[in-house]
Structure 1
């Protein structure tokens, strides 16, 4: 989860955090499901699409949310949560003999009877911890075998990346602690818990740091006059960088003992517990609501699909997910009836990519459609890969092919202008398939609440919801056919868009389809598509 940008106290440059594409404006509620022509926002026309479905029958479709956990009793989610029909809750037994005792609503691969993993390292920190004892004292001139030389070069790459992240985190931590300290001081002196622009104009700074702090607060209030939003952004920034230093990049922190598995054994599958919410279900609950929050209860928000069952497979901590857990989560979802898997996570290194690739191909062979978030680094993933991805390789990393029923999703905003591509979104002419709404998306969060989040993490479940909607009303269509329908039915974008670090590009340069997904077009196309058994081929 990324946090909003704030102007730096220490430097003119902004911190490398995720920002909202149109900070001065807010979209109308439910914008992601609205129609560009009739509603004036670049949603996916979900509400319009339901006019095509009146009187049609549907069947429930299980969507696995591989994420950080889901609040299963949220008022807008509890009616759509998947329940294992063969499992008796709370008896401590594996009633259905699938290897997972009490997997009533899914499974948690990052927990055990001891408790649950909440924080973990970034993958880069785990790799440095592995290689550092062997190579930290090695010089470029030290005699090494060919294999050792390869490992040493890998270690130097990892170490450079790690140190860059650590220095950025230290800078960010110092910045936010300084901002917090002086903001609190100014607030106490003004004696008002909620500051206004008028308060700040009247206040006489006691020193240079207070003057700079006031400039930061004013800049934020010009974008959004709600001081509480500024205070929340500041506290989120503080928490984000403190977490990076304490957990994500801390080489002395390793929580895997909580899980209790043999981490070196990649063939091990049966570990974890049945707690599918975990200690922080914010991200996963938000994703689940985008996919399938109850549409007709006059409560909260509307999901894309109206007949889904959300299976929570808790795999992603606050930090980077581990390849072993991802592979097992995909296999669990496929084995237990999921026809769509949403994966709103990713990382820049995948040490056991072959293990994950094998699981992806296993799910594809079971006619599962996999939807994955492209990532929030503003990078071209044609050049800088994000993992997991559809490509699989041999033992030395050479790409041998790709899995067909896979959709990679970038994030778009609500305005059909040059800012359509969210400024944080990854993109790629070959590696990203489609774009979908991912800015200021309101959805379900823990404690039965709702909140707006930004990210390709939000765009991916929009597409997963669309895939589930198609598979629900047209169940004879294969995963590959559903992907083809989604790709061919996009709303094409015929103007240039601003892309971070790349200037203005044609939309065909940022994704394979050249457009934003459209539910109305997709359902029209699905209605005229005949089921094709030959489309079961899953490898391209």
Structure 2
């Protein structure tokens, strides 16, 4: 559901979905145990991810979410229970384009020199977990993933990745998940364009790794907001669908164990490389999921001086690398183009760079990629953590 205007806050300011609790079981529940969950506090299971052992429960409106979470946490088979926290796109809105609109930031990261070596291979799949994607955008339509393991129209999850008939990706904002990940906000289409917009085609903009494949996974609604449960589902779906890179251009100020579990599963079990936005509050403290150890955290530098942090960019020791985030021009809805700023877009540049590195050598691990990012970036003096 669209959650942008429907939320509640805890005493510490954490934003969550009213009347929903996420419960992580330590073992698959037998029917009798699941029935007990249904009765406890009047909760009803509305979604279950067996890979994560995660149950999403809906409670009666009069039940306090945090008290119910504490109650569920006391059960012997429950690892944790928590509110279904809200995650938001990490964007600060701003109201043939390469020379006038894009050259400054591609020059700043030496992209033209990289393109002389590698432009990306279609075998590299980058999952864009976001507000969706305009599937027929002229600069993007040739880049969209095609799920060869799915039979369209048979109403069966043929490849068992958690979404039925998902030929071009999945939408986890709706229940049950839909096979149409179309963008109704614009943020996801902008992120996708930075990553992989077609280039050298006399049209629009250039993507960072224009030869790779984009897997759109809609986890944020028309307001740019989403839930921890939807993002967790999307992460596992992307990993099961073969994405080597998972782009998370979103942030929330406090942790969610559901998100943490999904990140760990995708990273440790599936070997995916996850890239996340540090956040746009202009303060110390990296947002989540970027702050988790399994995610490469990205902040943004300023246009006037790449050695200077963008004013909106969060910073801290968890940040691995900074990338352009100011006056970024990219694909937008209705086949158009738009300018924006935010660590979301820096995250997309880094995912694009990683896609180029994997296109060169697909055997490179997360550790390999992190090392290459460190040695190829400009190292600021004195171990500066103000990024």
TM-score by length of 1: 0.51
SS of corresponding position for 1:29: helix
The answer on 1:48 being equivalent to 2:120 is no
Counting only pairs closer than 5 Å after superposition, residues 148-163 of structure 1 correspond to structure 2 as: none
Partners of 1:99 and 1:306 lie apart in 2 by: 28
Higher relative contact order, chain-length normalized (CA < 8 Å, sep 6+)? 1
Task: Assess if the C-alpha contact under 8 Å between 1:307 and 1:472 holds in 2.
Answer: no
Residue 30 of structure 1 deviates from its aligned partner by 1.6
Residue 97 of structure 1 deviates from its aligned partner by 3.8
Q: Which residue of 2 aligns with 1:410?
A: 299
Q: Deviations over 1:9-36 (max 9, x none)?
A: xxxxxxxx9588xx9xxx942235533x
- Which of 365, 374, 384 aligns to 1:508? It is 384
Q: Which residue of 1 aligns with 2:82?
A: none
Q: Which residue of 1 aligns with 2:81?
A: none
Residue 49 of structure 1 deviates from its aligned partner by 1.4
Task: Assess if the C-alpha contact under 8 Å between 1:33 and 1:47 holds in 2.
Answer: no
Residue 493 of structure 1 deviates from its aligned partner by 4.0
Q: Which residue of 2 aligns with 1:313?
A: 217
From the superposition, tell whether residues 443 and 474 of structure 1 become closer, same or farther in structure 2 (CA, over 3 Å): same
Partners of 1:484 and 1:456 lie apart in 2 by: 21
Counting only pairs closer than 5 Å after superposition, residues 6-405 of structure 1 correspond to structure 2 as: 28-31=100-103, 34-35=106-107, 43-53=108-118, 58=121, 60-111=123-174, 259=175, 271-280=176-185, 282-317=186-221, 318=223, 320-350=225-255, 353-365=256-268, 366-381=270-285, 385-391=286-292, 402-403=293-294
Structure possessing the higher radius of gyration over alpha carbons:
1
Q: Which residue of 2 aligns with 1:398?
A: none
Residue 356 of structure 1 deviates from its aligned partner by 1.4
Task: Assess if the C-alpha contact under 8 Å between 2:251 and 2:289 holds in 1.
Answer: yes
From the superposition, tell whether residues 447 and 300 of structure 1 become closer, same or farther in structure 2 (CA, over 3 Å): same
Q: Which residue of 2 aligns with 1:455?
A: 342
SS of corresponding position for 1:435: strand
From the superposition, tell whether residues 412 and 44 of structure 1 become closer, same or farther in structure 2 (CA, over 3 Å): same
Partners of 2:93 and 2:237 lie apart in 1 by: 35
Q: Deviations over 1:235-268 (max 9, x none)?
A: xxxxxxxxxxxxxxxxxxxxxxxx3xxxxxxxxx
Q: Deviations over 1:23-60 (max 9, x none)?
A: 9xxx942235533xxxxxxx211111122349xx9552
From the superposition, tell whether residues 410 and 323 of structure 1 become closer, same or farther in structure 2 (CA, over 3 Å): same
Tell me, which stretches of 5 or more residues in structure 1 are unaligned? Answer: 1-16, 36-42, 112-258, 260-270, 392-401, 495-505, 512-540
SS of corresponding position for 1:468: helix
The structure with the largest strand share of the pair is 2
Q: Which residue of 1 aligns with 2:31?
A: none
Q: Deviations over 1:125-150 (max 9, x none)?
A: xxxxxxxxxxxxxxxxxxxxxxxxxx
SS of corresponding position for 2:323: strand
Partners of 1:62 and 1:417 lie apart in 2 by: 29
From the superposition, tell whether residues 486 and 34 of structure 1 become closer, same or farther in structure 2 (CA, over 3 Å): same
Q: Deviations over 1:50-90 (max 9, x none)?
A: 22349xx9552100000011011111001111111122334
Tell me, which stretches of 5 or more residues in structure 2 are unaligned? Answer: 1-90
Task: Assess if the C-alpha contact under 8 Å between 2:169 and 2:181 holds in 1.
Answer: yes
From the superposition, tell whether residues 478 and 75 of structure 1 become closer, same or farther in structure 2 (CA, over 3 Å): same
- Which of 351, 361, 365 aligns to 1:478? It is 365
The structure with the largest helix share of the pair is 1
Q: Deviations over 1:494-513 (max 9, x none)?
A: 5xxxxxxxxxxx771324xx
Q: Deviations over 1:396-444 (max 9, x none)?
A: xxxxxx33xx2111111222377x321111111x121111001111100
Q: Deviations over 1:270-305 (max 9, x none)?
A: x3111201433x000000000000122121111111
For the aligned residue pairs, the C-alpha RMSD in angstroms reads 2.4
Partners of 1:32 and 1:334 lie apart in 2 by: 34
- The number of aligned residues is 292
Partners of 2:330 and 2:179 lie apart in 1 by: 24
Task: Assess if the C-alpha contact under 8 Å between 1:87 and 1:94 holds in 2.
Answer: yes
Residue 101 of structure 1 deviates from its aligned partner by 1.1
Task: Assess if the C-alpha contact under 8 Å between 2:121 and 2:212 holds in 1.
Answer: no
